Amino acid sequence: MLGDPAQIAQNAAAPKGKAADMDLTGLVMVFPDDDPQPTYDVHAWFWSPEGQLQARRPSERQLFEAWARAGLLELIPGNVVRYRYVAEQLLSVCGRFDVRKIAYDRWRIDDLKQELEEVGDSDDVPLEPFGGSLGKYLEQRG
Protein backbone atom coordinates (compact mmCIF):
# COMPACT_ATOMS: atom_id res chain seq x y z
CA MET A 1 0.00 0.00 0.00
CA LEU A 2 1.09 3.52 -0.62
CA GLY A 3 -0.13 4.76 2.75
CA ASP A 4 -2.73 7.35 3.57
CA PRO A 5 -3.38 9.52 0.51
CA ALA A 6 -4.08 12.48 2.80
CA GLN A 7 -0.33 12.59 3.38
CA ILE A 8 0.39 12.53 -0.35
CA ALA A 9 -1.63 15.41 -1.80
CA GLN A 10 -4.65 17.63 -1.44
CA ASN A 11 -6.38 16.96 -4.75
CA ALA A 12 -6.83 14.10 -7.16
CA ALA A 13 -8.53 12.81 -10.27
CA ALA A 14 -10.06 9.36 -9.95
CA PRO A 15 -11.12 6.94 -12.71
CA LYS A 16 -13.56 4.23 -11.64
CA GLY A 17 -14.25 0.97 -13.44
CA LYS A 18 -16.29 -2.20 -13.03
CA ALA A 19 -15.88 -5.45 -14.93
CA ALA A 20 -19.17 -7.36 -14.84
CA ASP A 21 -17.91 -10.78 -15.82
CA MET A 22 -15.23 -10.68 -13.12
CA ASP A 23 -17.05 -8.50 -10.59
CA LEU A 24 -13.94 -6.58 -9.73
CA THR A 25 -14.40 -2.90 -9.04
CA GLY A 26 -11.69 -0.32 -8.57
CA LEU A 27 -11.02 3.29 -7.80
CA VAL A 28 -7.61 4.71 -8.63
CA MET A 29 -6.64 8.20 -7.53
CA VAL A 30 -3.76 10.19 -8.96
CA PHE A 31 -2.21 12.85 -6.73
CA PRO A 32 0.05 15.49 -8.30
CA ASP A 33 2.50 17.35 -6.12
CA ASP A 34 2.91 21.13 -6.22
CA ASP A 35 6.12 21.22 -8.28
CA PRO A 36 6.13 23.09 -11.61
CA GLN A 37 7.07 19.73 -13.19
CA PRO A 38 4.87 17.54 -10.98
CA THR A 39 5.34 13.93 -10.15
CA TYR A 40 2.37 11.79 -9.27
CA ASP A 41 1.50 9.42 -6.47
CA VAL A 42 -1.21 6.83 -6.95
CA HIS A 43 -3.58 5.27 -4.44
CA ALA A 44 -5.92 2.47 -5.45
CA TRP A 45 -8.86 0.66 -3.91
CA PHE A 46 -10.11 -2.61 -5.34
CA TRP A 47 -13.20 -4.56 -4.26
CA SER A 48 -14.36 -8.04 -5.14
CA PRO A 49 -17.15 -10.17 -3.67
CA GLU A 50 -15.96 -12.80 -1.26
CA GLY A 51 -18.75 -15.11 -2.42
CA GLN A 52 -17.22 -15.35 -5.90
CA LEU A 53 -13.75 -16.50 -4.83
CA GLN A 54 -14.53 -20.20 -5.15
CA ALA A 55 -15.89 -19.67 -8.70
CA ARG A 56 -12.57 -18.29 -9.91
CA ARG A 57 -9.86 -20.40 -11.49
CA PRO A 58 -7.50 -21.72 -8.78
CA SER A 59 -4.56 -19.57 -9.89
CA GLU A 60 -6.74 -16.46 -9.96
CA ARG A 61 -8.32 -17.29 -6.60
CA GLN A 62 -4.86 -17.63 -5.05
CA LEU A 63 -3.88 -14.20 -6.39
CA PHE A 64 -7.06 -12.59 -5.07
CA GLU A 65 -6.56 -14.19 -1.65
CA ALA A 66 -2.94 -13.02 -1.54
CA TRP A 67 -3.93 -9.48 -2.53
CA ALA A 68 -6.62 -9.47 0.17
CA ARG A 69 -4.13 -10.66 2.83
CA ALA A 70 -1.74 -7.90 1.73
CA GLY A 71 -4.47 -5.26 2.02
CA LEU A 72 -4.50 -4.54 -1.72
CA LEU A 73 -7.99 -5.92 -2.33
CA GLU A 74 -11.03 -5.71 -0.11
CA LEU A 75 -13.24 -8.77 -0.20
CA ILE A 76 -16.76 -7.71 0.59
CA PRO A 77 -19.60 -10.00 1.71
CA GLY A 78 -21.91 -11.46 -0.92
CA ASN A 79 -21.72 -12.64 -4.51
CA VAL A 80 -21.56 -9.23 -6.24
CA VAL A 81 -20.07 -5.84 -5.51
CA ARG A 82 -23.10 -3.76 -4.64
CA TYR A 83 -23.31 -0.31 -6.18
CA ARG A 84 -24.44 1.04 -2.80
CA TYR A 85 -21.14 -0.05 -1.28
CA VAL A 86 -19.17 1.64 -4.07
CA ALA A 87 -21.30 4.79 -3.71
CA GLU A 88 -20.54 4.90 0.02
CA GLN A 89 -16.83 4.51 -0.66
CA LEU A 90 -16.88 7.28 -3.29
CA LEU A 91 -18.69 9.64 -0.92
CA SER A 92 -16.15 8.85 1.79
CA VAL A 93 -13.19 9.51 -0.52
CA CYS A 94 -14.73 12.74 -1.80
CA GLY A 95 -15.32 13.84 1.79
CA ARG A 96 -11.67 13.26 2.68
CA PHE A 97 -9.98 14.77 -0.37
CA ASP A 98 -10.39 17.61 -2.83
CA VAL A 99 -11.46 15.32 -5.67
CA ARG A 100 -11.77 17.36 -8.86
CA LYS A 101 -13.37 14.63 -10.99
CA ILE A 102 -14.01 10.94 -11.14
CA ALA A 103 -13.81 9.59 -14.66
CA TYR A 104 -16.12 6.66 -15.31
CA ASP A 105 -17.13 4.18 -17.94
CA ARG A 106 -20.72 4.81 -19.07
CA TRP A 107 -21.70 1.14 -18.70
CA ARG A 108 -24.25 0.80 -15.87
CA ILE A 109 -23.36 4.21 -14.49
CA ASP A 110 -27.05 4.97 -13.92
CA ASP A 111 -27.12 2.23 -11.25
CA LEU A 112 -24.24 3.88 -9.42
CA LYS A 113 -25.77 7.36 -9.77
CA GLN A 114 -29.03 6.11 -8.26
CA GLU A 115 -27.17 4.67 -5.27
CA LEU A 116 -25.20 7.91 -4.85
CA GLU A 117 -28.47 9.83 -4.63
CA GLU A 118 -29.87 7.38 -2.08
CA VAL A 119 -26.85 7.34 0.27
CA GLY A 120 -25.80 10.97 0.10
CA ASP A 121 -25.51 14.10 -1.96
CA SER A 122 -24.55 12.95 -5.46
CA ASP A 123 -23.26 16.47 -6.17
CA ASP A 124 -20.41 15.68 -3.76
CA VAL A 125 -19.08 13.14 -6.27
CA PRO A 126 -17.86 14.95 -9.41
CA LEU A 127 -18.51 12.29 -12.05
CA GLU A 128 -17.27 12.80 -15.59
CA PRO A 129 -17.67 10.34 -18.50
CA PHE A 130 -14.46 8.94 -19.91
CA GLY A 131 -13.68 6.91 -23.01
CA GLY A 132 -15.86 4.27 -24.55
CA SER A 133 -18.19 1.85 -22.87
CA LEU A 134 -17.31 -1.44 -21.27
CA GLY A 135 -20.80 -2.62 -22.21
CA LYS A 136 -20.07 -2.25 -25.93
CA TYR A 137 -16.82 -4.17 -25.51
CA LEU A 138 -18.58 -6.98 -23.64
CA GLU A 139 -21.29 -7.18 -26.31
CA GLN A 140 -18.69 -7.42 -29.09
CA ARG A 141 -16.74 -10.04 -27.19
CA GLY A 142 -19.92 -12.10 -27.09
Q: Flag whether the pTM goes above 0.75.
A: no
CA angle 122, 123, 127 (to 5 degrees): 80
| Alpha helices for the chain (secondary structure H) | 58-69, 83-96, 109-119, 134-141
- Residue 25 CB neighbours (<10 A): 25
CA torsion, points 28, 30, 84, 138, in degrees to nearest 10?
-40
pLDDT in tens, the chain (142 residues): 333 444 333 344 444 444 444 578 888 888 888 888 888 888 888 999 999 898 889 999 999 999 999 999 999 888 888 888 988 988 888 888 888 888 887 777 888 888 888 987 777 788 887 766 555 545 555 5
